[in-house]
Structure 1
Amino acid sequence: MARSTVAQALVGLLFAFSSVARASPDQALCNTIKTKLGNDTVEATDGTYEALSTENWSQTVWAKPACIIQPSNAKELTYVVSTVVGQKAKFAIRSGGHSVVPGAANINGGVLIDMARFNSVEYDANKKVATVGSGLRWKEVYTALDPYNVTVVGGRVLEVGVGGLILGGGLSYLADLHGLVCDNVVNFEVVTAKGTVVNASATSNPDLFWALKGGANNFGIVTKFTLKAYDIHDAWGGVRVYSLDALPALFDAMYQYQSVANKDPYANIMLQAFPTNASIGAILNMVYLKPEAEPEAFAPFRNITPLADQTKLQTLTELMLAAPLPELTRVNWFSSSYTTDKKLFSQVADIVTKAPEIEEISNLTAGSLAFGWQPISSSAVLAGHASGGNPLGLQPVNQTWLVLDVGWWKPEDDELAHNYTLSIIDKIDDASKASGNYVDYIFMNDAAADQPVIEHYGQENVAKLKATARKYDPDQVFQNLASGGFKLP
């Protein structure tokens, strides 16, 4: 009887083990890849797994992949992609991990392909281009180019990853001069779903080149970006801090700044304010891409007295390094766009400072709301057209891309924080539509997961993106297996 009981127990254990094996194809896949790549594959039992799986800056997008793969070169990446696709496993791709869209740069189960080891910067002075790895953050790119006294059209927040920013369009302090970040790519090196390496440029796979300029992770995995470089090094600017009481004057100055007939393309500005936190108040980021103090472009702001003034002559990299970074636990953001109109500016100002949802957000544990007022000049759009165009569907008019950043502490408040902020964005969109100033564009890099970003590129551009996806990814791998991020509608 005892022998029978032991036998039954062994059969039960074998059944359990086989069930676990059948239930864990992701783990089997990770083991296969680890056999080939060794330490490039990090599993849940490895000491570095916890730090890598929670590297994304907001806890709302932390996840537990079956393993994290850090290929070192395009050859290893092609093997990883071929193996993952062959097993029909879910995967995510991470550059810097700054996106707050769940699944865009991390995944529960499946495989996280971390591009951190694609981290080289090569500058070609003759061609005036820099080739940068897709696993870099902008701080590393600018620091590497500073010795050459050049820069590229790149991110304003230095901890943001290169890959996600470019593939989402990318906003830069150089945008009014040279277009969006995506408009300044001259070549993408891409690993396709078939595990092959292709180059996309104006002359090689030009349809893919166009699609990647705002098409997100729908076509392949970019390993390198070759970017135009510019002779910009020394600049003037920095941060000015104001009380919330100064906001009406700041909004009026912003209207004057944005409505001039010929806006100085070397001047760039961003207004951030924290209506839930008077102790922080409002922050004006001012950048002039020449070493000239107090340029005339910023004259509308001269008579508004700041609480603190950190503007000075410095390098552009130093200027961006000095920008404050928020320390938030859980983060989401929403985007809205509208043209320059004095009455609408006043309406939006009232909404972002007085809407009842703001108090509801502040009542959440560590609840906070900030808005970012980002002027976009018509010259930025025209520069993009001159560089071969992109799928974004932007019209060459002066406009504002507003972003609402919401932060909170507890996971149980996720839905409330989302809904309160969405309600504020809806009010802004309603106001801009009623006034005839609505811009049918949602900036991907500032958009919430449920904002239909690519749908707003326009019917013709969406059709062209879909045709390009069918050509380079006929099995819809990046639509279905890399399911995070903004997908083609």
Structure 2
Amino acid sequence: MKYCYTAAAFSALLGFVQAESTCCTALRDAGLTHILYEGDAEYTTRTESYWSVSAQLHPTCIVQPLSTDEVSTVVKTLVSGTNCSFAVRSGGHTTWAGSNNIDNGVTLDLGLMNTTVYDKVNNLVKFQPGNRWGMVYAELEKYGVTVAGGRASTVGVAGFLTGGGNTFFTAQRGFACDQVQNFEVVLASGEVINANATSNSDLFLTLKGGSSNFGIVTRFDMQTFTQGDLWGGVRVHSKNKTQAHIDAYTAWVDNVVNYPEGSSIIFWSYLPDVKDVVIIAAYEDTAGNESPAGFDKFMAIEAMSDTMRKASHKNLTDELEQAAGYRDIWFTMTFANNPKIFSHIVEAHQTMVDEWSANESSDFITQAMFQAIPTVFSKHSVERGGNVLGLDRETKNGIMLLFNIAVKGDADTEARARQKLRATTDELHEFAKKEGGLIEWQFLNYADSYQDPLGSYGADNVAKIRAAANKYDPKGVFQTRAPGGFKIGKVPVALKKRDEL
């Protein structure tokens, strides 16, 4: 009996693998020329180019379309096939397994679709989803303009924009998604449509934060603006400067509305080369003002190193890239601008570092990263037509946390790190809630697979996302055939409105 069960299971698995292989053959028969298989050198290169090792899965094949028409052909071919599951990759920066890659399926890799065209007449830049932000900035700097995009140059554009996108310019312009004027989208039917304020406006709204629930974006048309050098850089401090930074940062959060040209990210990080936790702070003045008064409290704190300077947008984003080649586990939460909660998080981070280093021998990096989320951010979003992030519900300034651990080693090491991080962050969530400072909002770009950022947008926005997904993908292809990322189908239908809780 045991043998029969094993044989049946093997037969089912074989049928699944054969179906997936058939899907790759169908793509070739449809005229697609850039298809990579395991054993091909470029297949290995593309697989290993995912930023997080956790996301380096093994699809049956990787298809690399060269145009919107080819994306349409890929989608129509896969949807018409039997059991053709697929994933969609832009920059490959999302950390967790299955978010942008797939085992035993087809990965639709947009990396070869990476053109950037500046439209000076309309103050727009039109770029494809295979771009990374550094590529976009490099092209725009030829014309003395830029866009409000990612703060690390190697991050891909597509997931960043459809997840919201926080930038150096959010206090002046709203989130990155608010700068998009038009999305070109391939639907599950293969139809190519444009979504903007006047055409398919419901899809336009929900793509601004609604992620991969509707189709594949093949071009972004984004507003540009004149930009010279910024003043910015990174300062590194001993962890004995913790209280000074907490005091300065909580004061900063409430002053963002008065100094919208400023941007500040601060994090406590364990670095293997130092074998200790240090404080790393990145500052940018987007107007290019040197040593502006808005940063005085930060600049008064003694630093071990300092790279503050006048530099281009791209140059500053080159500086903020994180190390690749680790298994990365991320978690996010948002809390009120409360120094007690802030201090507790820093202490919990130190405890996690101490416990992990005492019991594990592998190389690791941690971060407890803090970013201001003041109400002025969503004010600008509303002025630009709105999005589905749901931050316009908030009436008090908040702080967003990215808490992460990156480990070397095997999948078992990653599993232990995930368990440790989740236990720590669950406690942080409860502490903030007990203190009356938990803001029930999660930033999708930073969320882990077990979190529910879409649900945190609130019942009204969930309803808008669900309605758009049902309208533009009535067969649920991007809920089932392309299961990666955060899916609206997994958000409870009976989600309550905040005033009902």
TM-score (norm 1): 0.92
Partner residue, 1:12: none
Q: For 1:330, which of 327, 330, 340 is the aligned residue?
A: 327
- Secondary structure of the equivalent of 2:282? strand
1:268 aligns with 2:263: yes
Give, as a single letter, the amino acid of the residue that structure 2 aligns with 1:483.
P
Q: Supply the distance in 2 between the matched residues of 1:351 and 1:20 (Cα, whole angstroms).
A: 47
Q: Where do 1:4-43 residues align within 5 Å?
A: 23-43=17-37
The answer to whether the 8 A contact 2:346-2:368 is kept is: no
Tell me the SS of whatever aligns to 2:29. Answer: helix
Alignment equivalent of 1:189, drawn from 180, 184, 188: 184
* Equivalent residue in structure 1 for 2:154, among 156, 159, 171: 159
> 2:311 is matched with which residue?
314
Measured after TM superposition, the shift of residue 431 of structure 1 is 2.1
Report whether the alignment pairs 1:387 with 2:387.
no
Alignment CA distance shift 1:24-1:429 (3 Å): same
Deviation of residue 279 (structure 1)?
4.9
> What secondary structure, in the 3-state scheme, does the structure 1 residue paired with 2:475 have?
coil
Residue from 24, 37, 52 that aligns with 1:58 = 52
Counterpart of 1:440? Answer: 440
Shift of residue 303, structure 1, vs aligned partner: 1.9
Distance 1:37 1:243, change over 3 A: farther
Aligned residue identity for 2:335:
Y
Structure 1 runs not aligned, ≥5 long: 1-15
Correspondence list, 1:121-136, <5 A: 121-136=116-131
Amino acid corresponding to residue 400 of structure 1 in structure 2: I
Deviates more, 1:268-277 or 1:55-64: 268-277
1:91 paired with 2:86, answer yes
Query: Mapping of 1:200-279 within 5 angstroms?
Result: 200-260=195-255, 262-275=257-270, 278-279=275-276
The alignment partner of 1:39 has SS state of coil
Residues 138-157 of structure 1 aligned to structure 2 (within 5 Å): 138-157=133-152
Q: Please say if residues 379 and 396 of structure 1, whose CA atoms lie closer than 8 Å, have aligned partners that are also in contact.
A: no
Aligned to 2:495: none
Aligned to 1:111: 106
Contact 2:268 2:346 in 1 (8 A): no
Contact 1:101/1:485 (<8 A) preserved: no
Q: Per-residue deviation at 1:20? A: 6.0
Amino acid paired to 2:402: V
Change (3 A) 1:463 1:359: same
Q: Determine the C-alpha separation between the residues in 2 that align with 1:25 and 1:124.
A: 44
**How far apart in 2 are the matches of 1:36 and 1:149?**
42
Partner of 1:100: 95
Shift of 1:74: 1.0
Change over 3 Å in CA distance of 1:275–1:63 after alignment to 2: closer
Which one-letter code corresponds to 2:263 in the other structure? N
Q: 1:366 aligns with which of 363, 367, 386?
A: 363
Counterpart of 2:402 in structure 1 is 403
Equivalent position SS for 2:251: helix
In 2, Cα distance between equivalents of 1:22 and 1:446: 33
1:292 aligns with 2:289: yes
- In structure 2, what is the Cα distance between the partners aligned to 1:238 and 1:380? 23
One-letter code aligned to 1:102: A
| CA displacement, residues 293-318 of structure 1 (integer Å, 9 cap, x when unaligned) | 11111111132110111101122222
Q: Which amino acid aligns with 1:471?
A: K
Identical pairs, percent: 32
**Equivalent in the alignment of 1:73:** 67
Which of 172, 181, 204 is residue 177 of structure 1 equivalent to?
Answer: 172
1:432 match: secondary structure: helix
Cα drift, residue 390 of structure 1:
1.1
Determine which structure has more spread, i.e. the larger CA radius of gyration. Answer: 1
1:390 alignment partner, SS class: coil
1:5 equivalent in structure 2: none
- Give, as a single letter, the amino acid of the residue that structure 1 aligns with 2:400: W
Question: Which amino acid is the alignment partner of residue 403 of structure 1?
Answer: L
Residue identity opposite 1:92 in structure 2: A
Q: How many Å separate the matches in 2 of 1:484 and 1:261?
A: 35
C-alpha change, 1:22 and 1:341, in structure 2 (3 Å) is closer
State the alpha-carbon separation in 1 of the partners of residues 390 and 15 from structure 2.
Answer: 48
Asked if the contact 2:256/2:374 (under 8 Å) is kept, the reply is: no
**Aligned partners of 2:473, 2:321: CA distance in 1, in Å?**
41
Q: Deviations over 1:56-90 (max 9, x none)?
A: 11111111111111111111111110010111410
CA distance in 2, matches of 1:66, 1:327: 24
1:343 equivalenced with 2:337 (yes/no)? no
Cα distance change, pair 46–36 in 1 and its aligned pair in 2 (3 A): farther
State whether residues 71 and 77 of structure 1, in contact with CA within 8 Å, keep that contact through their aligned partners in structure 2.
Answer: yes
C-alpha RMSD of the superposition: 1.9
Distance 1:268 1:56 in 2: 28
Letter in 1 for 2:100: A
Kindly provide the amino acid, as one letter, of the partner of residue 436 in structure 2.
G
Contact 1:179 1:384 in 2 (8 A): yes
SS at match of 2:255: coil
Cα distance 1:484–1:324, how it changes in 2: closer, same or farther (>3 A)? closer
- So what's the TM-score if we normalise by structure 2? 0.90
Q: Greater CA deviation, 127-136 or 404-413?
A: 404-413
- Deviation track 1:10-67 (CA, whole Å, cap 9, x = no partner) reads xxxxxx99x9688511112212212333531112242311111222111111111111
Q: Which runs of 5+ in 2 are unaligned?
A: 1-9, 492-501
The residue type equivalent to 1:151 in the other structure is T
Kept after mapping to 2: 8 A contact 1:170/1:181: yes
- Cα offset, 1:406, TM superposition: 0.5
Letter in 2 for 1:380: F
